[in-house]
Amino acid sequence: MTSPGTARLKALDSDHHLHPFTDFKALSEEGSRIITAASGVYIQDADGQRMLDGMAGLWCVNLGYGRQELVDAASQQMTQLPYYNTFFKTAHPPAIELAAELCRLAPDHINHVFFTGSGSEANDTMLRMVRRFWALKGKPEKQWIISRENGYHGSTVAGMSLGGMAPMHEQGGPCVPGITHIRQPYWFGEGRDMNREEFGKVCADALEARILELGPDNVAAFLAEPVQGAGGAIMPPDSYWPAVKAVLEKYDILLVIDEVICGFGRLGEWFGSQHYDLKPDLMPIAKGLSSGYLPIGGVLVGDRIAETLVQEGGEFYHGFTYSGHPVCAAVALKTLEIMQRENIVERVRDDLGPYLAKRWATLADHPLVGEARSLGLMGALELVADKATGERFDSSLAVGSMCRDTCFDTGLVMRSVGDTMIISPPLVITHDEIDALVSLARAALDETARQLA
Ligand code: PLP
């Protein structure tokens, strides 16, 4: 039952609030779901419905909801120094301590960080740094950034341009020049006419072909997520990353790994690039850095780039009012402390990830499921019309959205990307909660199948 208070909020929301990634007309007609409270891995809406948050918010609330220590860290810092900037050679203790701690946790060749307010800003920063680096090296013609179709790197103009989401490119005018996209290593979606490992090599060959087309001397960097998140929790074939690395080394092209989702334990290592043994030159970060409690992002900068920027660069004309915001930095610092104290990364790698893999795989027998895959605490289900052939549903049926809405009704937040259902739960989820998540997902699949029948 919707209370008068909730009805009022829904009306105001429809009348005045333009939501991100939302069909405004559909929202104004159907209204929104208003989330009012949360605890652990559960959220609750204004109508009293409790849901297991299988997406950790937007892949970010890694420590779960209701962490009083994070609230206290914010409150103390608010009292001590609510704001100061880090421009023009000023600093404050939280930003300094956080920079040092991040560099201690990052791979050895990374010893600098530039703070931003979000993952999109981190990718904008990265783009400017990459081009500046090559200019300082006397190679200003090295401008091109190669990224991937269906990759996601944010929603600012540069983030959208770096990403490979065609519907985003179609809105809002021309993209930032000097960015090009190659095919993605999405075996289930695009490669099933060959075996997985062959397909991984074909995708890496596409990188080499594009480099040669552009001229290696004109290519600055390759940008990718370790596992594509918003594109559909796409784990590349094992052959992919070693082959990509070899190509980049051959042509002296920088590797940028977008760790906005995969960083901070999601794949069972501090950074997703460590799972695949990559040594990126730059790593955009955000989300899990503060467990989503406050907005903060950054770029972790490898020594090769940092030495050039520091020794040869002079002033870098770039920064944000909230770069290294003291309250956000204090919360991020506390997040990293809790993660280490509770051995979150090791637990995902050794216990929760393998447990989810085992339980998630049981959904593969469902008639709607063409593939069930997971890595660490990220998983996907491919919904298909014909299990034997893997044939997809007609897109006009919007089966993924139907399943997502059914999930909400059954008490699970699972996101849909086309007909791919994805999960990315808080990293503190327990075995019992994983069991509950899998049971709820099965119930939603059953209900979706019933609606389609
Ligand atoms: N990069 C990746 C891989 C992301 O998944 C996202 C957001 O989902 C971003 C960048 C953009 O981050 P933000 O929404 O904080 O700007």
pLDDT in tens, 306-353: 999 999 999 999 999 999 999 999 999 999 999 999 999 999 999 999
Q: Atom 12 in ligand 1: which residue has the minimum CA distance?
A: 119
pLDDT in tens, 81-126: 999 999 999 999 999 999 999 999 999 999 999 999 999 999 999 9
Over the chain, what is the mean pLDDT?
97
- The whole-number average pLDDT for the span 56-78 is 98
Q: Atom 10 in ligand 1: which residue has the minimum CA distance?
A: 153
pLDDT of residue 222 exceeding 90: yes
**Percentage of the chain lying above the pLDDT 90 cut:** 99
Pocket test for ligand 1, best of 60, 153, 156 (most atoms within 8 A of CB): 153
pLDDT at residue 1, rounded to an integer: 72
d(CA 18, ligand 1 centre) in Å: 19
| pTM for the structure as a whole | 0.98
Task: Write the DSSP string, 19-63.
Answer: -TT--HHHHHHH--PPEEEEEBTEEEETTS-EEEETTHHHHT-TT
Atom of ligand 1 minimally distant from the CA of 123: 10
229 lines ligand 1 (CB under 6 A): yes
d(CA 120, ligand 1 centre) in Å: 6
| Exposure on the CB side of residue 443, measured as CA atoms within 13 A | 15
Atom of ligand 1 minimally distant from the CA of 258: 3
d(CA 163, ligand 1 centre) in Å: 10
Amino acid of residue 273: S
Give the position of tokens 């209370």: 3
120 lines ligand 1 (CB under 6 A): yes
Are 421 and 380 in contact by the 8 Å Cβ rule? The answer is yes
Residue 427 CA to residue 64 CA, distance in Å, equals: 7
Are 176 and 158 in contact by the 8 Å Cβ rule? The answer is yes
pLDDT in tens, 127-148: 999 999 999 999 999 999 999 9
118 lines ligand 1 (CB under 6 A): yes
Any residues with CB less than 8 A from the CB of 270 and at least 6 apart, and which?
Answer: 105, 106, 263, 264, 345
